[in-house]
Amino acid sequence: MNHEENTVEPLLPEVVAMVGGYFDIRPEALDPGVSFAELGADSMALLGMLRLVEERFGRKVPLRQLLGDIRTPAALAAHLAANTPARTPPEAAAAPATDAVIAAAVDVPQPLAPAPL
C-alpha cells in the first residue's frame, strides 16, 4: 500500500457515506468506482453534492472537475485527501492547554512586596 492509498483510505468511507446519503443509496451498496453519472447525477445534483463537500471537508471542488477527472466517489476521496489539510480530532482541538497555562503562570516573576503608593 502506498502513501496515497494510506491518505485516501480514511476518507473513502466518509465520502461514500456522503455520496450515498445524497443519492439515497446505502453506503454498502455504493461502488466507489462507479461514476457519478452512473449514479444518476446531473449537473444540478453535482452542485448540491459539492455544497456538502465544502461543508464537510472545508474544500471547494469546481464542478468542471467532477465532470472531468473526478468522476467517481473514489476519485473524489483521493482528491480531497491530496488537497485537504489534516483534520485535528475534536477532542484534541477542544482540550485546554493546561500545561502551557500552568508553565506561564509559574514562570511569571512576582513582586516580593506590594508596590509603593
pLDDT one-digit tens code per residue, 99-110: 555 555 556 566
Looking at residue 73, its pLDDT comes to: 97
pTM: 0.66
pLDDT one-digit tens code per residue, 38-89: 999 999 999 999 999 999 999 999 999 999 999 999 999 999 998 876 655 5
Number of structural domains found in the chain: 1
Q: Is residue 113 part of a domain?
A: no
Looking at residue 97, its pLDDT comes to: 56
Q: Is residue 109 part of a domain?
A: no
Exposed, middle or buried, 36 (CB in 10 Å: 0-12/13-18/19+)?
A: buried
Q: Is residue 14 part of a domain?
A: yes
Looking at residue 10, its pLDDT comes to: 82
How does residue 113 score in pLDDT terms, banded at 50, 70 and 90?
low
Looking at residue 27, its pLDDT comes to: 93
Q: Is residue 63 part of a domain?
A: yes
Report which of 117, 91, 95, 81 is spatially closest to residue 6, judged by C-alpha positions: 81
Measure the CA–CA gap between 60 and 63, rounded to whole angstroms. 9
Backbone angles phi, psi at 55, to 5 degrees: -65, -45
Which CATH number does the domain housing residue 16 bear?
A: 1.10.1200.10
Domain that residue 81 falls in:
3-88
Q: Is residue 96 part of a domain?
A: no
Q: Is residue 26 part of a domain?
A: yes
Q: Is residue 47 part of a domain?
A: yes
Measure the CA–CA gap between 77 and 8, rounded to whole angstroms. 6
Q: Is the pLDDT of residue 3 over 50?
A: no
- Cell numbers that stand for 41 in this block: 447525477
